[in-house]
Amino acid sequence: MGGFHSKPKPKPTPKSSNPNATITPLDRAILDLKNSRDRLTKYRAKLALDATKLASRAKTLHSNNDTKMALQLLKLRKYKLHE
């Protein structure tokens, strides 16, 4: 009801110490290094998880007398670990 008669609320603006600040090439390079480091740690964690999954799957296949497929999975695990 009071929407037509009320004043519009001002939108909050982000406050920075220097409104004319620009991103320097050094700042961009540091940010890129940090981003690549984070991607690398995520990728390493994913590889470790995949390796454990492949090893457990190979163990179950070996216990089910499917040795050929188990060996293939172990070769795949070895290949992924050496990437």
Per-residue pLDDT, 16: 66
26-70: pLDDT as tens digits: 999 999 999 999 999 999 999 999 999 999 999 999 999 999 999
pLDDT at 5 over 90: no
Q: pTM of the prediction?
A: 0.62
Q: Which residues contact 51 (CB under 8 A, 6 or more apart)?
A: 77, 80, 81
Per-residue pLDDT, 23: 87
